[in-house]
Amino acid sequence: MESIFEKRKKLIYEFMCDDLYVPMKLKELAVLLQVPKAEKHELKEILDELEREGKIHVTQKGKYVKGGGRQLTGVYQPHAKGFGFVTPADGGEDIFISEEDSGYAFLGDEVEVVLKPAKEGKRREGKIAKILSHGLTKVVGYYQKSKSFGFVVPDNERIRQDIFVPAEKSKGAETGQKVVVELTFYGGEGKKPEGTVVEILGYADEPGTDILSIVKGYDLPTDFPEKVKNQAERVGKPVSSADMAGRMDLRDWMMVTIDGEDAKDLDDAVSVRKEGDKYILGVHIADVTNYVQENSALDREARKRGTSVYLVDRVIPMLPKVLSNGICSLNAGEDRLALSCIMTIDEKGNVVDHKIAESVICVDKRMTYTSVKKILEDKDETERERYREFVPMFEEMETLAKLLREKRRKRGSIDFDFPETKVILDEEGHPQSLQPYDRNTATKLIEDFMLITNETIAEHFFWQEIPFVYRTHDVPDEDKIKKLAAFINNFGHSMHIANQAVRPKEIQKLLAKIEDTPQEALISRLALRSMKQAKYTVENTGHFGLAAAYYCHFTSPIRRYPDLQIHRIIKETLRGKMNENRLSHYEKILPEVCTQSSERERIAEEAERETVKLKKVEYMEEHEGEVFEGVISSITKWGMYVELPNTVEGLVHVMQMQDDHYEYMEDTYEMVGMHTGKSYKLGQKVKVKVAGTDRFSRTIDFKLVKGGETDGKE
């Protein structure tokens, strides 16, 4: 049968290649080729196959034309609702793929896409013509057992089909257990994906299984190879006099580390003193490259991981703890090797001089954000007395940080200040409380110092004209900014768009205008979504969000591979070893370092978000039926999202608003009752009851209390 199919396919393709062929629809082709009605489906199959092969394509009017449309390759990311997007390998805008055009592609597949004819004012659309390679090999999910087989319901909602598992390949898994299944077949027309169970994680309700499922789902490493651990033990020796030779000795400088109470990997120390009307800011970063040699087992593992991952209940470090919490951590009272960036800053916040040097330091005090906040913000007498010799330096730090912040504000730096959530867990991993992270004087001070250091390092090496790793953030897409401008116009706000582009200062001004208004949460989120993702690149194209011409990541080599890579480049340059061979070496390896690091960063961020969402749902399970006051954070056709003070967000389904028939008013972004005229608007305070939670989908449902009035009673 296959040979007949191929023969017919060849004949039809030759017919369409004839110079006399005129583009036709399926019905016209069937008539011309005298295809009986009963065999019309076979003609459609042949045409579909030719299209998948890229030999023909369908025009917007449904006519078949010889030759593929414009083809691109990229990675397919499906949505839980069936459609998906392909992120092109060339870095262009994502291509929308409808469910019927997905060609049975799987999450993470590298695919070839044929672009459809462009529609004015709409995003690019395409059809997957070919699956080039599969990106996903393992899936985590909930196992369900039958007599002669089982199947796995994937945790990831973007994998919309269950995975069939023959009984002999189930590893003895039982219903209710979370498992890791290795894919052996990715599915096709009328056929489910198939796989083999390779690991049983435990029953879904057992402590720790929930987070472990996310760890395995994102293929995060759970331990270091023995070779890597052994190497870390060997190199993690105390600093010797030989290690210090030729370094700038800063051990008599007053300096501190300022971190969270539970931080153990302290990779940055700061010092400030004033000379005349200038500030001398020293930012001293752990010299991790002294212990992690290029292409060693440690280096290869760090590069593969790309970043440390900070999950809600654990840290998956980039480097073994014997290094990250030991010799590479700037522990108070201990000699440590560092790379120091010492900046001279005038009273306008300008860096007028700087020096980059290999150094040896000895931190005086290990300070916490809480303690420094008490000293500077709260003027706590007990705390000020406890650290009285450091108080003058902290006060100079505060003044300098304000200068740097004001300079950034004037040039248009954007600050999206969304409250992040800190989840407090008990010993078994159950959430006890949810607290917004406190951004105070101390945390902002360290942010300001790290930002100016990263800018100074990036600018210095840009003008050296040697291969480097930059942290870049591109200008937003024109279409997204136009949509944002049209949206905010409904609320009486506007943005100036010059030469089809927006300047960061316009976004900054918008955020300032909406501060403390009911629309703040929604507009801020939409503004953030209109931005592109920051990434690592070898080309310096600037950082839009920071309104910075030069930016890199230099300050966290314990937990980010790009910083570690930059340290090597800096040290080789300082030592005069950046010869032609080394330049050529870095030109060759850095593009791949940037791509890998950007990908690992995105995976880490997704995993971190998912663990927080999971624990929020688990926390709210214990509060089902309870009433809370919250704020309407967004309104959609299907209901209203309400955010509680503890950062939990839940949905009030429009179908559950039973006191009236409510409709979504798109022009005013509110929910209005058709009979009572009662309306719900963004930023409005409402009382809600926790109606239900779903750990599997990680969602929370709310129900309005007494119509949602804040003074109402149950």
Are residues 396 and 468 part of one domain? yes
Q: Are strands 309-310 and 351-362 parallel, antiparallel or unpaired?
A: unpaired
| Sequence-ordered list of residues with C-beta below 8 angstroms from that of 683, at least 6 positions apart, any chain | 517, 518, 519, 520, 521, 631, 632
Query: What is the three-class DSSP state of 280?
Result: strand
In a domain, 217, yes or no: no
Predicted pLDDT of residue 711: 39
In a domain, 617, yes or no: no
Give the tens place of pLDDT for each residue, 15-47.
888 878 888 888 888 888 888 888 888 888 888
- Domains in the chain, number: 6
Query: What is the three-class DSSP state of 168?
Result: helix
Residue with tokens 């100079």: 396
In a domain, 552, yes or no: yes
In a domain, 465, yes or no: yes
Under 8 Å between Cβ of 285 and 351: no
d(CA 688, CA 698) in angstroms, rounded, equals 19
Beta strands in 18-91 (DSSP E): 56-58, 64-66, 71-78, 84-88
Are residues 489 and 571 part of one domain? no
Are residues 559 and 502 part of one domain? no
Are residues 385 and 413 part of one domain? yes
In a domain, 714, yes or no: no
Select from 562, 582, 610 the last residue of a domain: 610
Q: Which CATH number is 193's domain given? A: 2.40.50.700
* Dihedral sign for Cα atoms in the order 509, 514, 515, 520: negative
What's the domain range around 107? 71-133
Are residues 468 and 413 part of one domain? yes
Predicted pLDDT of residue 709: 53
In a domain, 345, yes or no: yes
Under 8 Å between Cβ of 563 and 468: no
Select from 89, 116, 133 the last residue of a domain: 133
| Sequence-ordered list of residues with C-beta below 8 angstroms from that of 38, at least 6 positions apart, any chain | none
Q: Which residues pair with 256 in a beta bridge?
A: 270, 365
Query: What is the three-class DSSP state of 134?
Result: coil
Q: What percent of the chain has pLDDT over 90?
A: 58
Predicted pLDDT of residue 519: 76
Predicted pLDDT of residue 46: 87
In a domain, 32, yes or no: yes
Are residues 376 and 331 part of one domain? yes
Are residues 499 and 642 part of one domain? no
Predicted pLDDT of residue 710: 47
In a domain, 151, yes or no: yes
Under 8 Å between Cβ of 354 and 456: yes
Neighbouring C-alpha atoms within 13 Å toward the C-beta of 169: 17
| DSSP designation for 325 | I
Predicted pLDDT of residue 169: 95
Are residues 645 and 511 part of one domain? no
Burial class (CB in 10 A: 0-12, 13-18, 19+), 368: middle
Q: Residues in the chain with pLDDT < 50?
A: 710-714
| R_g of the chain computed on alpha carbons | 29
Select from 118, 133, 148 the last residue of a domain: 133
309-324 burial, b for 16+ CB within 10 Å, e for fewer? bebbeebbbbbbbbbb
Are residues 639 and 554 part of one domain? no
d(CA 51, CA 64) in angstroms, rounded, equals 9
Are residues 555 and 447 part of one domain? yes
Q: Which CATH number is 125's domain given? A: 2.40.50.140
Are residues 273 and 245 part of one domain? yes
Are residues 585 and 513 part of one domain? no
pTM above 0.75, yes or no: yes
